[in-house]
Amino acid sequence: MLKILLVEDLIQKKAEIVEVIQEKFRGKAFHIDYATDVVTAKNFISSSFYDFVILDLNLPRRVVNRAENNVGIEVIQFIETNPRAISPKFIACLTAYTIEPDFIKNYPLCHFVHYSSTNSEWKELITKICSYLERTHSIPLRKDKKSFHYDVLIVTAITEEFDAVISFLKTEDEWEYKRIMGDAQKYAVNTVNTEFGTLNIVLTQSSQMGMAAAAVSATKAIEFFCPQIILMAGICAGVKGKTNFGDIVVADPSFDSGSGKWKVNEDGDLIFHPAHYHLRIDVEIKRICDEISADRNLLTNIYQGFNLPVTRPNVIPKVLVEANASGGSVLQSTVKMAEIVDTHKNLVGLEMEAYAVYLAASNSRQPQPKFISAKSVCDFGTEDKGDAVHQYASYTSVAFINEFLQRAEFLNEHLVNKSYELEY
């Protein structure tokens, strides 16, 4: 979404400019912030990135002041020289008064346009600038420490999980695959409709299984798309006796099962001393997960909603908000599973990526996304593990995400008040 800052104190002129922008972006979303004085304009430019700043020359210095001739030039000076300024992509000074030749010479970063209520030439120029900005408004989008560009990022580790999201996520449109120049990672975008508004979704897949690949893919996607929340979908191993096939394991906490120290004891035995660094989900996210976990009718509907001709267990899935370990290897050993289970009394799940995604999110640049992994049990990490319930487990993971997005009202808070956001 293009972001525009309009710095103008005259109501009629402001209305004409907005009308031109509305006409240009009809059918598309854009966002306008308004300032009527120099100080407010500087505050906006200090806190957010704008694709386009449209500026009058004759402005009040502060809200309580009267307009002064050419005081708007201070905004341009601020952008050019102050390190607090987040430089916009394009600046246009739109004034009805004579433009000083020295301004054009001394401020080459600004495009000076003569405004007239009786001549439409300025409208054509503003439209051309908007067309240029629209063409160049592509991913990766610039971070400004404040604005999220996408609502949801879904990270998967393998093609089976990626395809399950494509198949089972309840979207509004066909998935659109995106290529980012210089990056071979796979991305697809779509929208999900909720009663609070429409969410922009981006889906990606790591180049391979494991924490290293997950950390790299999540970090790149966070930088490129700047999402409000990261969800990890897919399949995991469950702890036998605590989980059933298809149960959704929400990792809280998540930790690296291989983190610790190997030592030789006095008897010469090699002993592993775990040192787990736990990452927890946000309390609002946990509340939503607990609500879904308690909704028996919903979980029954999820179970009954799977009608593919493949293996399905004969038990309704549960949502388990409990400890989950991420490890560096696929486990097919009862002995090794038992060793990891012994490191945390509440452990219910084991997989290979969630901790890395949590770490990537919690260490990303501002604004930092929230995060949650909701993978479903497809085996117990024992010698008899197989692929029979992979598709069902992938389905229940995505079914949980469908419901989570419908209840995650905090994702839509920026959509509730659209007094300054124009969309047609």
Could you list the pLDDT tens digit for every one of the 424 residues in the chain? 788 999 999 999 999 999 999 999 887 778 899 999 999 999 999 988 899 999 999 999 998 889 888 899 999 999 999 999 998 999 999 988 888 888 888 998 899 999 998 888 999 999 999 999 888 877 776 676 777 889 999 999 999 999 999 999 999 899 999 888 888 999 999 999 998 888 999 999 999 999 999 999 999 999 999 999 999 999 999 999 999 999 999 999 999 988 888 889 888 888 888 888 899 999 999 999 999 999 999 999 999 999 999 888 999 999 999 999 998 878 777 888 888 888 889 999 999 999 999 999 999 998 999 999 999 999 998 888 878 899 999 999 999 999 999 999 998 765 433 333 333 2
pLDDT at 283: 96
For residue 347, what are its two tokens?
């452990």
Q: Which of 269, 229, 243 is nearest to 361 (CA)?
A: 229
pLDDT at 335: 84
Q: What is the pTM of this model?
A: 0.77
pLDDT at 59: 93
Q: Which of 115, 110, 68, 70 is nearest to 96 (CA)?
A: 115
pLDDT at 414: 53
Q: Which of 233, 278, 257 is nearest to 329 (CA)?
A: 257
31-44: burial string, b at 16+ Cβ within 10 Å, e else: bbbbbbbbebbbeb
pLDDT at 62: 93
pLDDT at 413: 65
Q: Is 298 exposed, middle or buried (0-12, 13-18, 19+ CB in 10 A)?
A: middle
**Cβ 30 vs Cβ 21: under 8 Å:** yes
**Which residues on adjacent β-strands are paired with residue 261?**
273
**Which residues on adjacent β-strands are paired with residue 352?**
none
- How far does Cα 352 stand from its chain's mean position? 22
